[in-house]
Chains A and B, each alone.
Chain A
């Protein structure tokens, strides 16, 4: 499965999912000790650990598909920024709590729709990871959508911050549903999802929650980010520098 262009597309498809999870887990991990309340510290930490657990399985699977002997650690800690294929949504800074929550909500709605479809992937490994992930994603979405409503339909201050976060993050959502040749090849092979169908689910969830939260859905943005092709904004490099520092300073360090 690792040979040829199909194998490469398969590797990259799984790597995109893995990197998106890994980068968001790293972002959320940075909030430990900094969330607005002790209870939220643990709540967000739990989400981070769920995402990291999924990322580890996905990275290991991607390494096997690639067939060049790279394990999860080699893929996580020894790749350059341009080799990371995460969606740019998840590399956006934590910002204020509204930005953290809105980013999480937009991601969770996408991930739940994705995992629930990947449960029937023809890649049995990916299907198994999805089956585990879908239960976690369902809780994450419950958590983040509750907060979006609480902030949006809260005070004037929390509403303004939630709307500002939504407006700032919105341009990064289009990439999630913009199928390229890898997405199309994987959908045709039955490995990947139909992004148009994922988008329908996402729209329904997002529109419903935003209405409840009295937040306005921003207009679609003409500019497209393509983190999934390795084209990142200014933020990912610094995140990776922190995440990869130990392995690069002390190669092979273990504990």
Chain B
């Protein structure tokens, strides 16, 4: 088990069916990209969860800083007019 701590972490994204987007499902430790793909397959598609896998080094993901949450996300809270719920949809439009 100690070896796994030396292996870098990869994030795993699975496409459940054709036409759907890849969703983050978890992460694996692996020594290289090929091993990461195999570990992802072995851990996350054992029960037919997917038809496509992406793996990406966790260190290559640029994440927002939780300390920035106020500046990033608070300002959107009182701008409900950005939601499209205020538009009256004409009866003629069937598929919106």
The interface of chain A, by Cβ under 8 A from chain B, is 36-39, 42-43, 46, 139, 142-143, 146, 150
Contact string against A for B residues 23-65, beta-carbon threshold 8 Å, 1 for contact and 0 otherwise: 0000011111011001101110010000000000000000000
With a CB–CB cut-off of 8 A, which chain A residues contact B95?
A: none
Could you say which of B1-9, B14-22, B68-76, B86-94 contacts chain A?
Answer: B1-9
Contact call A142/B38, Cβ cutoff below 8 A: yes
Interface of A, secondary structure class, is: helix
Q: What interface size band does chain B fall in?
A: 10 to 19
Query: What are 10 sample pairs from A and B whose C-beta atoms fall under 8 A apart?
Result: A36-B1, A37-B7, A39-B29, A39-B30, A39-B43, A42-B42, A43-B38, A139-B41, A146-B34, A150-B32
- Inter-chain CB contacts under 8 Å: number: 36
Q: Does B38 contact A143, Cβ atoms closer than 8 Å?
A: yes
Q: Which residues of B contact A139 (CB under 8 A)?
A: 41
Q: In the bound complex, what is the Cα–Cα distance between A37 and B39 (angstroms)?
A: 11
Query: Smallest CB–CB gap between A137 and chain B, Å?
Result: 15
Give 7 A-B pairs besides A38-B4, A146-B34, A146-B38 with Cβ atoms closer than 8 angstroms: A39-B28, A42-B39, A42-B43, A42-B46, A43-B38, A46-B42, A139-B41
Alpha-carbon separation in the docked complex, A182 to B38 (Å): 38
CA distance A146 to B35 in the complex (A): 8
What residue in chain A is nearest B45 (Cβ atoms)?
Answer: A46
- Report A160 CB to chain B, min CB distance, Å: 17
Whether the Cβ atoms of B31 and A150 lie closer than 8 Å is: yes
A37 touches B4 (CB 8 A): yes
Residues of A within 8 A of B1 (CB): 36-38
Point out the residues of chain B lying under 8 angstroms from A150, CB to CB: 31-32, 35
Closest Cβ of chain B: how far from A51's Cβ, in Å? 15
A36 close to B4 (CB less than 8 A): yes
A17 to B2, CA, bound (A): 37
Name the contact of A46 in the complex, choosing from B29, B30, B46 (C-beta under 8 A). B46
**What residues of A have a CB within 8 angstroms of the CB of B46 in the complex?**
42, 46
Distance between Cα atoms of A162 and B66 in the complex (Å): 46
How far apart sit A150 and B35, CA to CA, in the bound complex (Å)? 10
* Inter-subunit contact B38/A37 (CB<8 Å): no
> From B41, which residue of chain A is reached at the shortest CB distance?
A139
